[in-house]
Chain A
Amino acid sequence: MSIQTQLPALRATGRRRGTAQRGEARWTFLLIAVVLAILAVWEAVVRAGLVPEAFLPPPSKVLTAFLALLVEGEFWQAFAFSMGNVVVGLALAIVVGVVVGLAVGWSPVLRFTVAPFLWLLYSTPKVALAPVIILALGLGSESKIALTFLLAVFPILLNTMEGAVTVSPSLVRAARVFGVRGPALGWKVIFPATLPFSLAGIRRGAALGFTGEVLGEFLGGTGGLGHMLEQAAYQFEMDEALAMVVVMVIIANLTLSLIGLLQRKLAPWHDERTAAAS
């Protein structure tokens, strides 16, 4: 009897997933077509001489510069510098964001005393703090890590907090019935229930943190991808500058896809549509 009641449910989910995938595939196809069309127009416009090549090199030139970068030692050094800072800054932001977010979200006292300040800090344009941070921490990695952290931590923290606030009271009640309380309640119920929210926050935090790193390198840097981009633009090597932008777009997108993959892997029960706020 149980098998009979089970099958329709499975079939229904299977069907839903199938249509969703087919739908997404169609959109991806359209997206690629649009991008290719834009590139073609761009190439044509520059070749026809409508825009000076010095200002806007054609895609073909950008591609050549991009491939040249990949065999350049200086580029990989800059890459390692930037990514190292992003990884450290983001790791700090994840630890602080998740721990503080859970604490503030779960404790009513903290929520009423600390949360208003967190929202205030969140709404402060932290980019404006960049010059101060560079003055305080110097031109090296420290100031970049600080900027990455500062930009990444708030989405992670606030999302985790919102997640902890919305943990279903019925799950907490069930946990209490079966003797789960104190740290075990946090570990077995609150943390896993909040995880999808944290992951959504981490996804936004990673994108913002990368921006923070590049910004820091722009404003006062001695190395890194942002610094290389600035140098290229300064020397009017627009093809290399644009190739750097392409590199950054690729890094950002790979990071987002990776975290998206983690979301599906670690929190498959979570329905993205219901978490529209994140």
Chain B
Amino acid sequence: MALPDIRTPETTERSMTSADTDVGTPLIQVRDLAVHYSHRRTGGSLVAIEDVNLDVTDGEFVTVLGPSGCGKTTFMNVVAGLVAPSHGQVLVDGKPVTGPGPDRAVVFQDYALLPWRTVIDNVRFGLEMQPHLRGTGWRERVQEAIETVGLAGFEQSYPRELSGGMQQRVGLARAIVAEPRILLMDEPLGAVDALTREVMREEIERLITATGKTVLFITHSIEEAILLGDRIVVFKSHPGAVKEVLTTGIERPRSERSIQSDARFLELRDHLWEALRGEATAAATRSSS
């Protein structure tokens, strides 16, 4: 398959909002990253990811696509500061990541909301530990975040009273309330029903483009990766590593409906489908042998 123009990882044709932010050092730099998990019983170690290199510029929306078990969540956890690298490092704004920080927020696949807190208190959780945001004005910030994700009127509801999609809206509001520069999203729509997922994809696309945040978005949906990403990082498994990086180059705003007829979308989808099928077949052969 001839795709001469898409294997250009270093030049991002970021459309519209932040074309001028590409200058200077990248906001996130991933250098020779490897994570090994030690096996307690066998004494051996499992290579989760190996030799990952990636630059993400300020304001870029990068989707990370790969089959399950390819280490893409591990990769995100290292950037979040939740998992320490075995080798290499992640730099954010030039400084190595040593733990979680207020410049990065995470949206989890399982929402991870505190069940004893109402929507408004769950969103507040996102800025509680940041002294400069905790004082006066937090109420307005929280309210604004709640309205941004479309949850106005549900401030006093508990997570158990909300549908999955609405719980993830709370998770999203909690992540953006402290205005981090980087949003890390770990298959945020993976546990949401199909119809809500399509609506929320478009909402996330609009929301992020409006705020100009830098995003790492983990997914195993090809359509989602293309619809949302400026660039798509394709992971392969065993060991997890970057297989290729593609630039989408589709005009924003994008919508689920309009993108279906876009020639570039179809081209990318076919290409990614081939790439992932190769991965899935390889995985199946490995497990049977």
Kindly provide the distance from the CB of A104 to the nearest chain B CB, expressed in whole angstroms.
22
Main secondary structure, interface of A, reads helix
Given known pairs A2-B151, A13-B161, A171-B112, the reply for A179 and B196 (CB within 8 Å) is no
CB < 8 Å neighbour of A173 from B99, B108, B125: B108
* Among listed B1-9, B162-170, B232-240, interface-contacting one: B162-170
CB < 8 Å neighbour of B82 from A6, A176, A179: A176
Identify the closest chain A residue to B125 (Cβ). Answer: A178
A side interface size, CB within 8 A: 28
A170 — which chain B residues lie within 8 A by C-beta?
108, 110, 112
CB < 8 Å neighbour of A179 from B100, B150, B151: B100
Cα(A184)–Cα(B166), bound, Å: 27
Please indicate which of the listed interface residues B101, B104, B129, B153 has the most CB atoms of chain A within 10 Å of its own CB. B129
CB < 8 Å neighbour of B162 from A9, A173, A178, A179: A9
Kindly provide the distance from the CB of B157 to the nearest chain A CB, expressed in whole angstroms.
8
Given known pairs A176-B100, A179-B102, the reply for A267 and B116 (CB within 8 Å) is yes
Does B154 count as interface, using CB distance less than 8 angstroms? yes
Q: Do A178 and B105 touch (CB < 8 A)?
A: yes
Identify the closest chain B residue to A13 (Cβ). Answer: B161
Does A113 count as interface, using CB distance less than 8 angstroms? no
Q: Beta-carbon contacts of A1-21 to B below 8 Å, as 1s and 0s? A: 111011011100100000000
Does A259 count as interface, using CB distance less than 8 angstroms? no
Cα(A184)–Cα(B128), bound, Å: 10
B116 — which chain A residues lie within 8 A by C-beta?
192-193, 195, 267, 269
Cα(A9)–Cα(B161), bound, Å: 7
A188 — which chain B residues lie within 8 A by C-beta?
114, 125, 128
Given known pairs A177-B80, A178-B174, A179-B100, the reply for A5 and B165 (CB within 8 Å) is yes
Q: Do B196 and A5 touch (CB < 8 A)?
A: yes
Cα(A1)–Cα(B169), bound, Å: 13
For chain B, give the interface size range: 35 or more
Given known pairs A170-B108, A178-B129, the reply for A2 and B166 (CB within 8 Å) is yes
Does A189 count as interface, using CB distance less than 8 angstroms? yes
Given known pairs A178-B105, A178-B174, A184-B129, the reply for A1 and B199 (CB within 8 Å) is yes
B135 — which chain A residues lie within 8 A by C-beta?
none
B112 — which chain A residues lie within 8 A by C-beta?
168, 170-171, 173-174
Identify the closest chain B residue to A176 (Cβ). Answer: B100
CB < 8 Å neighbour of B128 from A5, A173, A180: A180
Kindly provide the distance from the CB of B153 to the nearest chain A CB, expressed in whole angstroms.
8
B interface with A by C-beta (< 8 Å): 80-82, 99-102, 104-106, 108, 110, 112, 114-116, 125-130, 150-151, 153-154, 158-163, 165-166, 169, 174, 178, 196, 199
A interface with B by C-beta (< 8 Å): 1-3, 5-6, 8-10, 13, 168, 170-171, 173-174, 176-180, 184, 188-189, 192-193, 195, 267-269
> 16 A-B residue contacts at CB 8 Å?
A2-B154, A9-B162, A13-B161, A173-B82, A174-B106, A174-B108, A176-B99, A177-B106, A178-B105, A178-B126, A178-B128, A178-B174, A179-B129, A188-B125, A188-B128, A192-B114
Closest 7 CB pairs of A and B: A179-B129, A174-B112, A269-B115, A170-B112, A177-B106, A5-B163, A192-B116
